[in-house]
Each structure stands twice: as structure tokens, then as C-alpha cells.
Amino acid sequence: MTFLTLLRHNGDRGIVITTPTSLLRIPRSELSESSYFLLAPEAANDWVIGLPSTDLTTTSRQLLSAVWELNRIAMPAHERRLLIEPLRDVIESTLQQLSLCFSPSESGASATERESYELADNLNKQLTTAYTMIALQMIDERALAHNISPAKVICKSLHKAVSLMGRRFLHTMRLAKPIGVGAWLELNQLYLLAEQQQLADVKVTDELDGPCSIRTRFVQISLLGCCRPHQLKSEDIAHVYRYLYRYRHAFHLIKESSNDGLFTIDLSRDSAPMYTQGVDHTSDNRHSRFILVEPLVTRLRASETEAEASSDLAQTEPHQHLTPEVTRHLLSCFSKAHRRGDKRIRGSNSMDVVVGLEGIYQQLLAKAGGATTQQSSGHPHDANGAGLTQEPMTESRPSIRDQVHPIHQVNIINISSGGYCLEWQDVMPRDVKNGDIVSLRERGASDWTLATIRWVSQLDNANTLIGVSLLSAAAVHATARAADDKGPNPKAVPVTFLPGIALTGEPEGLIAPRLGFKEGQTLSLQCSNGSRELVLNRLVNATSTYCHFTLSPVDLASASITPLSTSSAHKPFNALWHDL
């Protein structure tokens, strides 16, 4: 070998290969033939045609084993490329099908879902390795190449390897799993190799992930790791990844150290990008790159204005338009360095947890001694609107206070001023996920505190950890109805009222079911101590189960809130469905 230098053997894990500036791991050449087909493109194509099209698991396992073997057979780069090409389309199709078999961001995945994820992850890794080997070998065999462009083969192979890693990172983040050891280093080194070969800025056609350069794809993946994905819902992570591609011209990767570069990437380390503000620049920074995001921040602020003006776009075209809460989240990540300003204190107590809106309503009713009007026990965010109607209580339809909602016992790992890190020792319910609202009570305490799940961490052979952010320790159960619904039987829904905090300037808030509420809407709020008319001022957060609004009095809101259109201002709750 003339250009590649063998450093060391590492058992079955492979060998480490270096170029003058990059370090990558590839398997050892320990096989001489494939057990599936002859080492000829025609034989590989015939074998692919014969794969069972109706048995996804069997097809996935055979493809995984076939590529694993090819990666361990010594052959020239152009022969390896000709053997991989017949497999590429069916592998990418299989990866897409496997991604539909596991449920992103849901805890307690079944054995079948875990198997599908592991198959997809391993198949992605093997195909990434194959393209990495093609690029490395072609660099070494450049002088021996005939009738082909070595630079073109190297560029396409590196672009495919980086794009495959982007998809792998995306699925891993959506499942709230940690990025594997060595994955960030592999991504960083693939980009470094492209940069060294002066191919980082060559635009490559990619029908699946979209045409772009290796530099653009690399920064797209890196920024996804910078946006605190553990605080986003699974579907929002996918929307952000597509949004970053759509506005790929709004961020830049530069070599020179600059105050404008919010993030720093050390291409020699196995780590995600870090805020430049906290990086020591006195050491050797030959491998440091800086991400300039100011144009992207400008675009996000424009998107925030567009989303607030036309909130329906974020629902009908999520691949192009982010929801206001996701846009605000990205602005928080990309506008300035975000660091923890509070200390973590190790916890030694246990915590009672109640999950879901109805469970929280029950706890608040118990706290108030049941001093509220009886409400419908229909699910408050039922898609058919059942939760927006009031029905008489019957023995077959119990009230909220009569329903049984389990109280889960968890351990407190650490405590901060803004929330808790909790350890879920028992099997976590499948419907508990990132973004859910919960009610907390430390063991021995009497009062419940309202919180929301900010992240979920599920490691193999370890208990599930969840991070919760506190919302209010003085929440009050209430009912809300449209202020203009003056009929004899006004329709109301159960909500949670969050009193304001004068000391910190925190405004009053409302936790309500996901459907039937929107900014600018005037509500009549009924609590145990009376009723008030308030306006839903600003949507702070929204998940699949609830939405969180700030509130303002009607007279103060009229100056800052655009009134509802004439077509919907006179409608009660049951007519708002036409305007959602």
C-alpha cells in the first residue's frame, strides 16, 4: 500500500487506516469469497432479484450478511463498487421499510421493534463501511484506474457514506437513543478526507436525501446534533433535518477562527459540535472548523413571523414550515451559546408521578376537595370532538374524580432549579414520551407540582431516565368555554390554570387539550373561586396531547392580539373545528 498506512490490527473490529490527515476504521480482509454469490456484478444482481420480497426480516438479514462478507474480501476499489451497486437500491429500500417498523420516541419498544431498529442500524453501518472502503482504496489505486474518474468515484462514495450516517443519526435521535461510540469521529473523519481530497464542495446528485455537496450534508447533520434533539418530539426532529436541508445556503463551515462561528467542530475528536465560546483555542486547532449560523437565524426569525401569520402551514406542510414552538426552540439553540446556569444536586428521595391530563385533573380535584363542577370524562383531545361536549354523569360513564390513574414511583437522580432527572425502574408505560405533561410529588410531601417531560434516555441494560421541567407548583383545576357561548348549557372542557408569578414576571398560563384552542381566542375560565374572561395570548408549547398558552385580560390583550376573523368570532367550541 502506497498511500494508506496500516497502524494496527484490532481483532474482529477491524483495522485503523490513516491518510496524512484522517483516521478511519475498516474491517480486515479475512475472507476470499462470498457465500451468497460469485464475485461478479451479474451474479450479485441475480441474487438480489431472488430475495424474498414479502419477508422483510429475512431479506434484511441476508443483505446484512452479504455486505458484511464483501467488506471482508480483498478486491480492487472498482470491483468493490461494481458489486455494491446492484445491492444499493434494495438496501436503501429495505432501510426505509425497516424504519417504519419501530416507533420513534416511544418507550417500552417491543422485541420486534428493537430487532427492526438493530437490523436497520447494522445494515446502514455495513453499507457506510463499504462506501468508505471504496473511497479509501480508490485514493490508493488512483494511478491504476482506467476509463473511470477516480475523483468522481471518491466524491460519490464519500457523499453516500456521509448521507447514510446522517440517516442513522436521525433515526437514533428520533428514538431518544445515544449516538454510538465512535460515530461522531467517523463522520468528522469522512468529511476531513473529502476536504483533504478537495472534494468537499463538489455538488453530488442524491435522489434520496437531495443533491448537495459533502460539506453541506456534513453541516446539516452537525447542526441537527446542536439543536438539543432530546428536547424535541420525534416528528419535529425529522422536520428540522429537512428544514436544514431546505435552507442549506443559510449556514457555512469555515476554517478560520471567528467570533461569528457559534459552533466549533474538532474533526479529530469523537464529539458533536460545541459552542465556540467554551472551546480552548490556545491548543493546536488544525482540525477545528467553525459553523456560521447568522443567516440561518435570520431565516428562522422570518419563519417565526410566517408561522404566526399562517399557523396552518406548519400543520399541512411540516417539511417546509416549522411550528412556532419548534422555531423558537431552534432560535434558542442557534442565537447564542446556551449553557446550564444552575447546579445539579444529587437526589436521595423518591417521587410519585401521574401521567396525562386526566390524571392531573384528578389530583387537582382531590387537592381542591372536589369543589368543581362535574365535567365530561370523554378524552379531552379526542379527534371526534367528544372531549368538547358536556354530558350527564352516568354509572357507565364515571366522572374524572372517579377514574383510576396509576401513580408511578420513580427515583430522583438529581435536582436543579428548573426540574428533575428521574430514574424509571419499573417498565415504563408505552404511552409515556417526550413532551408529555406529568404531575410530581416528592415522597412525604402533600402538594403536586406540574411538569413536562423534556427528554427520555433509554440505554441498553439500564433503567430509563427522564428529564422533567417544572411548570407550576400552584396549578388549579378549572373549566373553560368560549366567551361568546351564552346558551343555556354552555359547553366547557377541563383545563389547568397556572397562576402568574409576580416576583419573576411570569404571566398567567393555561394547560389545555391539544385541539379546540388557539391564540387570540377569548375564554370564560371557571375556577373554584369564581370566573374570569381571558385571552389566549401566546402559544408557549404544544404536543400531541396538550398545549400551553400564556393568558392576558381581555382589555390588555385587545391592543396586542389580532382579533379572530368575523367568520369564527361568533362560533362556540364545537364550530371551531372548521377553522383548525
| CA atoms 532, 535, 538, 542: torsion sign | positive
Whether 17 has a pLDDT exceeding 60, the answer reads: no
Partners of residue 546 on adjacent β-strands:
513
CA 155 to CA 151: how far, in whole Å?
Answer: 6
Partners of residue 547 on adjacent β-strands:
512, 542
Whether 35 has a pLDDT exceeding 90, the answer reads: yes
Burial of 434 (0-12, 13-18, 19+ CB in 10 A): buried
CA 167 to CA 171: how far, in whole Å?
Answer: 6
CA 155 to CA 193: how far, in whole Å?
Answer: 10
CA 384 to CA 356: how far, in whole Å?
Answer: 19
Length of the chain measured in residues:
580
**Integer CA distances (angstroms), 53 to 56, 59, 88, 97, 454, in order:** 7, 7, 16, 11, 40
**Integer CA distances (angstroms), 120 to 159, 194, 243, 401, 539, in order:** 19, 26, 24, 45, 37
**Integer CA distances (angstroms), 299 to 245, 303, 392, 569, in order:** 13, 6, 51, 32
Query: pLDDT digit string (tens) for 132-152?
Result: 999 999 998 887 777 888 999
Query: Which comes out higher in pLDDT, residue 112 or 333?
Result: 333
Residue 240 confidence class, pLDDT cut points 50, 70, 90? very high
CA 167 to CA 270: how far, in whole Å?
Answer: 18
Longest dimension (CA), the chain: 89
Question: Collapsing DSSP states into helix, strand and coil, what is residue 68?
Answer: helix
Which residue, among 233, 229, 24, has the nearest Cα to 133 in the 3D structure?
Answer: 24
What DSSP letter does each residue of 69-114 carry, written as one string? Answer: HHTTB---HHHHHHHHHHHHHHHHHHHHHHHTTS-TT-SS--HHHH
Query: pLDDT digit string (tens) for 252-279?
Result: 998 876 556 788 999 988 989 988 876 6
Query: pLDDT digit string (tens) for 342-399?
Result: 567 777 788 888 887 666 666 666 665 544 333 333 333 333 333 323 333 333 434 4
What percent of the chain is predicted at pLDDT more than 70? 71
pLDDT value at residue 551:
84
pLDDT value at residue 276:
83
Q: Are 535 and 553 in contact (CB under 8 A)?
A: yes
Q: What is the mean pLDDT of residues 76-81?
A: 92
What DSSP letter does each residue of 315-339 carry, written as one string? Answer: HH-TTT---HHHHHHHHHHHHS---
Q: What per-residue string of b and e applies to 148-163 under the rule 16 or more CB within 10 Å gives b?
A: eebbebbbbbbbbbbb
**Residues ≥6 apart with Cβ < 8 Å to 384:** none
Q: Which of 65-69, 124-128, 323-327, 336-340 has the lowest mean pLDDT?
A: 336-340
Which residue, among 364, 345, 346, 351, has the nearest Cα to 443 in the 3D structure?
Answer: 351
Q: Which of 50-54, 425-429, 547-551 has the lowest mean pLDDT?
A: 425-429
pLDDT value at residue 223:
95
CA 306 to CA 371: how far, in whole Å?
Answer: 43
Ordered strands of the 252-254 beta sheet: 252-254, 288-292, 261-266, 274-275
**Which residue has 432527572 as its cell numbers?**
421
Whether 303 has a pLDDT exceeding 70, the answer reads: yes
Q: Are 352 and 420 in contact (CB under 8 A)?
A: no
Whether 527 has a pLDDT exceeding 60, the answer reads: yes
pLDDT value at residue 516:
73
Q: Are 280 and 191 in contact (CB under 8 A)?
A: no
Which residue, among 482, 484, 476, 481, has the nearest Cα to 509 in the 3D structure?
Answer: 476
Burial of 56 (0-12, 13-18, 19+ CB in 10 A): middle
Q: Which of 181-185, 234-238, 314-318, 336-340 has the lowest mean pLDDT?
A: 314-318
Neighbours of 127 (CB within 10 A): 24
Q: What per-residue string of b and e applies to 227-266 under the rule 16 or more CB within 10 Å gives b?
A: bebbbbbbebbbbbbbbbbeebebbbbeeeeeeebbbbbb
The type of residue at 62 is Q
Structural element, H or E, at residue 480: strand 476-482
